[in-house]
Structure 1
Amino acid sequence: MSAADRHHVVADLGGTTLRIGRIAARGGRVEAVRRTATDGIGRHGLLPARALQDRVVRQLARELAEYLDSPAGRGASAVGVSFAGPLTKDGVVRAGPTLWGGEADPLHIGDLLSARLGLPVLVANDITAAAWRYAETEPEPFCLITISSGIGSKVFRHGEVLVDDDGHGGELGHWRVDPAEDAVPCECGGRGHLGALASGRGILQAARRAASADPGAFARSALGPPAGHRAEDISNEVLAGAVRAGDPLATETLRRSLRPLASAVNCLFTAIGIRRYLFIGGFALAVGDPFVSLLGDELVRLGCFGLDAGEARAMVALGAADDDHCLIGMGRMLDRHSAPVLEESV
């Protein structure tokens, strides 16, 4: 096979959706993407973490094998998997909060998949992979933050993602912002974490609580009719649509949920001077411009040391309006690691 004909199969294992597609080596767009619901905590939340881990890994291996046997995947030179959780430098998965919740055994998922698929497999944290999509288009250091099932982040600076060999770093969603003993629980088992409050799942729960607490406002809200006027039936799609429409209850719920996220951005800026924050993830992109507008409001309210209001607002922006960030970034990581043998990497 000529270099021009080489292609990779890339997968993005998220807390809500597993995506698998094909991407040409040395650039190109993602093609023939298959999407399926992740068989983890989002579907079987009552199962123990180890049982959920087994389900997720079996599903990933099965779906990749089927894709590689299809016309789209046949002949792939390598497989890349972006994973929603921290990994060590050696490719060991340390946790999967949005996939299987609490503690489970460490997992060398690259070795398991390579043995099953018969191809070299590169595994990376999902936001590490996604950051490589923007590495060529962002001239200055930046922080990429996803707002989806959970919250993940990575700082990209001078050609590298800042993370240590044990996978620490970039887990902004597990920064504890509410120290109360009865704070909202996080899927990792902790309480009061940023991801429990400001992720897509966290904001949805906040909207349901707000609707239940104020039935009158809910009755007047654009959230009501699509949910059958049942607070428990509000969905992320309904919530995002109501915010875009300027609904007061939905907008105020989002504003309150974004306050700890604004604090996190302000802390990163003050600590390390990063002035570019790109937001991706299903929920942030579904809300669209109101997401960064409200977040900018909160940054201005907090005050960013040394910046005026316009400069504070200019720090935040949305990423590309698709769900291919991790797939494209994973393709670029595979290109960077092209060699007779690929090694697993964070």
Structure 2
Amino acid sequence: MSEQVFTVADIGGTTLRIARYGTDTGAVTDIHRTPTEGMDRYPGAPVADLQNRVVEQLAALAARAVQRHDSTALALAFAGPVTADGRVMAAPTIWGRRGEPLPLRLLLEERLGLPVVVVNDLTAAVWRYAATEGTQPFCLITVSSGIGSKVYRAGEVLLDADGHGGELGHWTCDPSPQAPRCDCGGRGHLGAVASGRGMQAAARRAALAAPADYARSLLAHSAPDPEQLDNRALVAAVRAGDGFATEVLRGGLAHLASAINAVFTSIGVRRYVIMGGFALAVGPRFAELLTEELQRLGCFGLSAEDTRRMVVLGEPDDDHGLIGAGRLLTARSMARQIVSLR
């Protein structure tokens, strides 16, 4: 079969990525990255306005890429729950509080004049790892602007037709009235506590609560004013072994470990692949601290050695959604060809 060429895109709360995917190599090339036209750039803008901005941005960049690639289809990995027919139900890290469902697949097909597949970004990314993880079930978790998850088992991602499932970032882990507010508007969600944005906010709160301890940390050298503290400084301090920064991270990871423990206890998945800009920037120390929290909790029925093997880091790049979207579209194209031959 001759090579097929697809245009693939991955949009998150911070960055929109778009690239060429060739079925012969299974690799992405011609990768372009640009800031997402969402609430990160326009804080406080109405949801409808942000939706329009994002659709226009996607359509314009995709149209140019499709022409450049001479591609036959577009696959989009989207940071939010997506129905089986390509409707976006929510986008907490892109336009914040829930607005009206957005028929994104139809809107893009009308603008581009070619087939479009829209899936959740983690649903797409799972397909990057499905080939390397073998037949064992696994849960893919991203820790970036927010937190998302998807479980892959027996050749499919566990979702219902309305896109429900794999939204671990919106599990309420802190029910207190003063819990941090999530981008979706709720309080105490895992994403508000343990995501990159959540960890940054936690570091600022810890600095204000314990100014003397903060002054002795590496963070104070980067940001004497805690309100100016960013994730680059937090990541660098954790990697350098700074105690203050490490304890902030450990506090968020305690909640993430509890969520993983609940997934394991309920459905028995033993393998957790961690990706996302924040987690991968921290690197091996992120997996080590998370594993320590899992071992502290104990996973029912597992030995300490079994628990130690549960968590691994994903590939050290941000191409997960792009590669996964290409592989997913390839699988669907092959399935259609098989059906047409019957």
The answer (yes or no) to whether the contact 1:87–1:167 under 8 Å persists in 2 is yes
**Cα shift at 1:43:** 1.6
- Give the superposition deviation at 1:162: 0.2
Task: Choose 95-104 or 45-54, whichever is displaced more.
Answer: 45-54
User: Which of 112, 116, 124 is the matching residue for 2:119?
Assistant: 124
Aligned partners of 2:26 and 2:327 also within 8 Å: no
Which amino acid counterpart does residue 238 of structure 1 have in structure 2?
A: A
Q: 1:179 aligns with which of 172, 175, 181?
A: 175
After superposition, give the CA deviation of every residue in 1:288-311 in whole Å (9 maximum; x if it has no partner). Answer: 011011111111111111112221
Distance 1:340 1:173 in 2: 32
The one of 245, 253, 256 aligned to 2:251: 256
**Could you list the per-position Cα deviations for residues 135-156 of structure 1 after superposition, in whole angstroms to 9, with x for gaps in the alignment?**
1111210000000011110000
Of 6, 12, 17, the match for 1:8: 6
Structure 2's unaligned 5+ residue stretches are 338-342
**Structure 2 CA distance for aligned equivalents of residues 283 and 47 of structure 1:** 26
Structure 1 residue 28 corresponds to structure 2 residue 10: no
Q: Quote the offset at 1:95 in angstroms.
A: 0.5
Match of 2:211 in 1: 215
Supply the distance in 1 between the matched residues of 2:142 and 2:98 (Cα, whole angstroms). Answer: 23
CA distance in 2, matches of 1:104, 1:17: 21
Identity of aligned residues (%): 56
SS at match of 2:315: coil
Of 41, 58, 63, 1:60 maps to 58
Residue of structure 2 aligned with 1:49, choices 43, 47, 50? 47
Contact 2:148–2:168 (8 Å) recurs in 1: yes
- 2:218 aligned counterpart, secondary structure: coil
| CA displacement 1:210-244 (0-9 Å, x = unmatched) | 122222222221112222x1211211111111101
Task: Name the structure, 1 or 2, with higher relative contact order (CA <8 Å, separation 6+).
Answer: 1
Contact 1:26 1:335 in 2 (8 A): no
What runs of 5+ residues in structure 1 fail to find an aligned partner? none
* 1:329-340 equivalences in 2 (<5 Å): 329-338=324-333
Aligned mates of 1:219, 1:180 — CA distance in 2: 29
- Decide whether the 8 Å contact of 1:11 with 1:21 is kept in 2: yes
- Is contact 1:186–1:196 with CA below 8 Å preserved after alignment? yes
CA offsets, 1:16-43, max 9 Å, x none?
1000011102442111110011111112
Q: Does 2:262 correspond to 1:267?
A: yes
Check the 8 A contact 2:170/2:190 in 1, yes or no: yes
Asked whether the 8 Å contact 1:80–1:121 carries over to 2, the reply is: yes
More displaced, 123-132 or 19-28?
Answer: 19-28
**How large is the Cα RMSD of the aligned pairs?**
1.5
CA–CA distance in structure 1, aligned partners of residues 48 and 124 of structure 2: 26
